[in-house]
Structure 1
Amino acid sequence: MIYLDYQATTPLAPEAREAMLPWLGGPEAMGFANPHSPHRPGRAAAAIVEVAREQVAALLPPGGRVIFTSGATEAINLALVGSGAKGLAVSAIEHAAVLDTARAIEPATVILPVDGTGLVDPAVPIPAGTGLVAVMQVNNEIGTVQPVAALAERAHAAGALFLCDAVQGAGKLAAPAGADLIAVSAHKLYGPKGIGALWIRDGLDLAPMIHGGGQEKGLRSGTLSPALCAGFGAAAKLAASRMNEDAAHVETLWHAAREGFSRWTLNGSPEHRWRGNLNVRLPGLDVARLMSDLRNLAFSAGSACASGSGRPSHVLKAIGLSDSDAKASIRLGFGRYSDLGELKDACERIEAAAAAQGV
């Protein structure tokens, strides 16, 4: 199996796995201790949580605090609900975690348009009365990197908070500048599933969404998993140290994939993008048949969260694609552990299967 779905999830880094193991031990190791307990094993567990918090915070801007959550979806819900902001404006290509949550809170949520490359105009009009603007750093379907610093400045000028879903960019790109709230997820940066975080700018107070024991500074009640925190922290530390190396590897993979798909049309900006995401289309392509014919390749027809819906991608529709072109698009995601030879082989097999369809 050749894995090319890094936007859906990344492989667990060996270093993250090793960091987790002591906190998954049996009774002799005491790694199972509750980090909220005052005894010595509990304090040891609490200490590793705080080490992890610092490691994750190092990927994010200074002047804020990190609150651990079950993942980015919970972090986004905490940001949108906990801020109490009235008047929401979100980009047309946000992940469902933002779009659906915003619409559940406020059915009249304003949708900010994107151009044909998937970019929000930094001068986009912000309606009067907007209390929070949400624009993601890197789109999960087409890889477009947004001008978040300019958009955050635009939001602040309108008197609004700025929320950035940095799930696809954290550990790969510099932290989004100017944001008030940033959501990240461990399993998108080679950490474990089941944990994420919300970065909150200093001076900004949120109301808790989950009530109970008052853990996580009163914002997110519930017992933390030291093992998940340790894995997240180790993955974040590794990503920070390898950022340039990983980016160089991805650049090599990108050029090979673009060469392999020379007759396919790129979806999204060719310049302003994370190059570990290749979303391309071939008119007339039957993607369901393609994926059935290539069961030893793990790639995507869009967001994993929308898989099986049968609907055209809202992201591809937002950049102006017809239903047929949107449904004739595929996404390849690659990264740190992708092999260049395997990627070239996968591109050749996809191209041959597409040609066999007569397209």
Structure 2
Amino acid sequence: MTILITGGAGFIGGHTVLAFLDRGEIPIVLDDLSTGNRAAIPSDVPFFAGDVGDTELVLRLVQNHRIDAILHFAAKIVVPESVADPLNYYLNNTVKTHALLQAAVRGKVKHFVFSSTAAVYGNTGSKSVSETADPAPLSPYGRSKLMSEYMLVDAGEAYDLRYVILRYFNVAGADPAGRLGQSTPGATHLIKVALETALRRRTYMSIYGSDYPTPDGTCVRDYVHVSDLARAHLAALDHLRNGGESRTLNCGYGRGYSVREVVDTVRNITGVDFEIRQAPRREGDPASIVANSDQLMKLGWKPELNDLAKMIEHAHNWESKLIAAESRTAIR
């Protein structure tokens, strides 16, 4: 049987494709390439350009390729953008997930792993948050993901579709072997922005808010290496394949770092003292959010790259590789 990965040309989906390949499984990828990169998909992986909201297209893929598992990554993910354009987020993240679920149910797909977010929790205070916490999202992005979670839970109960919902914390790093990294133009991930500034691709970077109730006044986040996150999806699917029950699980390391701590680590690794400008808070940003991922670890997930400096080092290697590739292209 076959795995369908939606959004497999993107940052997290692309690393999950690599994780499956590394253990000898070849998935198929569906991506509309609105933010994904076709070059991120290895040549031996079947690729289909299309919209996850196209139920008939997805159903054809399910039937033609005997798909029994869907890993759903395709989504919009920028919190400030969701505040400015909420209806677009509900369309892409919620309505299209509804269409994808319709295709999964009609095609009798057995297993579904959903890419969700810690943004469903909202402000959690300084303590780590477990899956039993009541959701209280602060942004349309978080609400659009939570609504999709509810749909998946209800579909699971009604149609015998077993699922794992993975609530990611802040994803960082790049493939340690240098095969893939964050390539989306204009990406808003803190570590990527800081590295682009250190590498003189940006003239400065902004820190949004300095008066949060945190040790240094800036937001605190739990950063998880993208390759560890990819392996969490393998653990989730293995759980379902082995007859495991549907679950909702956090994926983070249980250690928070402030924006200033991340910036200082980027400066140490790159040796560049780049310009920081203070900016107002962004709507929708919680002060602090840190994971309790005990339940995912009980499922068999074993983090291997739980080190902020290592995440930044891998991301720095990738950013340097992108610059070198651009230089070669310019010379030609």
Q: TM-score, normalised by structure 2?
A: 0.30
* Greater RCO (Cα-Cα under 8 Å, separation 6 or more): 1
Q: Larger C-alpha radius of gyration, 1 or 2?
A: 1
Query: Which one has a larger percent helix, Structure 1 or Structure 2?
Result: 2
